[in-house]
Chain A
Amino acid sequence: MTDQELIAKSIRYRKNILKYIVGAKAGHTGGSLSCIDILNVLYNEVLNVSPENFTSPDRDRYIQSKGHCVEALFVTLADQGFFPESDLETLCKYQSHYIGHPTKKVHGVEQNTGALGHGLPIAVGTALAAKMDDKDFKVYTLLGDGELPEGSNWEAALTAAHYKLDNLCAIIDNNKLQITGTNAEVCNTEPIKGKFENFGWAVREVDGHDVKALKEVFAAMPFEPGKPNLVIAHTIKGKGVSFMENSVKWHHGVPNAEQYEAALAELEN
């Protein structure tokens, strides 16, 4: 896919994220908009995952640790053909499987997530299974920067390096904001790069909205043979809608009709 095609997809994905959040009257708007370019590049350029091969033991795995940004995942999976996009009209509705966090009841979802600090340990186990069975599939997991204080992440970071899981890629959606304020105000986790390097990971930093740069960074895996890969994706919470960008109140803010129209107008231009 050309970069222009990917950029066009990102715009469509962003519009869909807003559409279904408005329909559900709930959702994690800011974070879904910050991570959507990463999901776009992963599903359209990187992952060997499709509705057809989803039961294959050799498929790549994507595990979304920051489960609350499920809207980004759902619109991407719908676009990949895992289910009709119209299913998302039931988002957060009574008895819908399309709930506020990833669930395996939805075709294409690998793991039920939502509690933070869970994606990386599961991804480590999955990547370890690939190594044990001499399989070539790779395991990707997307973490929010706000979930880094969860201790289980650091336990798993040790294990990933211990077992030399260079088939594992953790991506941090580093939008630098969480529900209470900036990461720095809440619990300063910087320097993230230095911490992971000291834990034995190979780390690359990238503009998390630059599809070309994202393609290149994923193509460069493993960054160093024998080391797990970390991509620190520098992103903007609420990216694409000026009044949502870098604003904590859009962590799970839902646009009203006027804001929705204004957001769509911005995205279309």
Chain B
Amino acid sequence: MKPSLLQKKQMGAPIINSDPNSQPNQDVFSATLLELAQADRDIVAVTSDSRGSGKLVVFGQTLPKQIVEIGIAEQNLVGVAAGLASAGKKAFAVSPACFLTARALEQIKNDVAYSDNPVRLIGISAGVSYGALGTTHHSLHDYAVLRAINNITIVAPADNFETREAVKLAVKHNKPLYLRFGKKPMPLLTEDSSIGFEFGKGRVIKQGNDVAIIANGETVYPALQAAEKLEQESGIRATVVSMHTIKPLDTELILALAEKTQAIITVEEHMVNGGLGEACASLLLQNGYNKPFKIMGIPDEYTVTGSQVEIFNHYGLNADGIAAAVNGMLVS
């Protein structure tokens, strides 16, 4: 018998954020961008009536000549940003991920990626950040559609450190780029400063030889909590990776984990079709992988609504759910 909605909710406690200094990644994005833009007049924020949700109000007040308001017109947002970029501007096109990567997909494909105009596309309130607003406001397709487009780097930072580093790199990365941010304060994954950040290289947050948990964005933190729970309760040692860059994928790291561990599980705030999990599956299958493998994400169904935490809990994208999935894989 399938568990009821209430039972499912009770299966996992809400994500506990023990870091009092944590901020939403998209707030860290805007603060970092402002800091960098004050020293570089070519940095331009392009918005679609989205400076409030993008936390760019202060940016607009501080640098009014470096913000371009388009109004609610995402296709035009991306086309104009492509024109700005072609003329030397470091254009950051900021819009809710749900609209940016769906309504303006043809502009992303042609005007940004195909024409190689180095627009930095910033998808805010991504995944199910706007959980209760419903499917129109969810972006559970963005990895899938962008992965199928040549010449674009796709990055979903997990915490405030990764966000800051990603924005700094984005300014220097003179190529098409998609950065995806959510609304919830995200605790630091690690204080180990030796774990650096670069596009295309996964960050190993925790080491363990039994299972590899490969997650990205706002699912890395619950993956880390799951790993701690597995270790405490079952003695299972997990490697936890923040695979912030989905494309290009860190194939070297994933194949090394395939050798080292007994099972791999991926976790993402995206539909299970076409995202991080399937990217890993494709790589692994084509390299002869035959150990247990599981993709956790939002299933291909009419998505339940509620807060982001409630949706995560509903689909088991929390410490309990991920730990239970790992236990199931290792038992079988």
Contacts and interface: CB of A to CB of B under 8 A. Distances in A.
Interface stretch (B20-28, B75-83, B236-244): B75-83
6 contacts: A121-B76, A121-B111, A129-B89, A156-B80, A158-B73, A158-B76
B283 interface: no
Nearest to A157: B76
Nearest to A141: B83
B71 interface: yes
A155 B73 contact: yes
Interface of B: 44, 65, 68, 70-71, 73, 75-76, 78-89, 91, 106-107, 110-111, 114-117
Given A104-B116, A130-B87, 13 more contacts: A111-B82, A111-B111, A112-B115, A118-B106, A118-B110, A121-B79, A121-B111, A125-B85, A128-B68, A128-B83, A132-B65, A155-B70, A156-B76
A125 B87 contact: yes
B89 A115 contact: no
Nearest to A113: B110
B240 to A, nearest CB: 41
B110 A112 contact: yes
Contacts of A254: none
Contacts of B70: 155, 159
A82 to B, nearest CB: 18
A129 B110 contact: no
Contacts of B87: 57, 61, 125-126, 129-130, 133
A159 B75 CA distance: 12
Contact of B86 (A115, A118, A122, A132): A122
B80 A159 contact: yes
Interface string A224-262: 000000000000000000000000000000000000000
Contacts of B107: 118, 121, 152
| Most-contacted residue by chain B among A110, A121, A128, A159 (CB, 10 A) | A121
Given A111-B111, A112-B115, A115-B110, A122 B88 contact: no
Interface string A6-20: 000000000000000
Nearest to B65: A132
B72 to A, nearest CB: 9
Given A104-B116, A112-B115, A129-B88, A123 B75 contact: no
The 10 closest A-B pairs by CB, nearest first: A125-B83, A121-B79, A129-B87, A155-B76, A125-B80, A155-B73, A126-B83, A122-B83, A112-B115, A125-B84
| Most-contacted residue by chain B among A61, A111, A112 (CB, 10 A) | A111
A136 to B, nearest CB: 13
A71 to B, nearest CB: 20
Contacts of A149: none
B115 A124 contact: no
B44 to A, nearest CB: 7
A121 B71 contact: no
A46 B68 CA distance: 29
Contacts of A133: 87-88
A129 B236 CA distance: 56
A33 to B, nearest CB: 26
B111 A118 contact: yes
Contact of A124 (B83, B88, B110, B114): B83
Contacts of A117: 75
Contacts of A151: 75
Interface string A144-171: 0000000110011011001100000000
| Most-contacted residue by chain A among B76, B82, B117 (CB, 10 A) | B76
Nearest to A114: B110
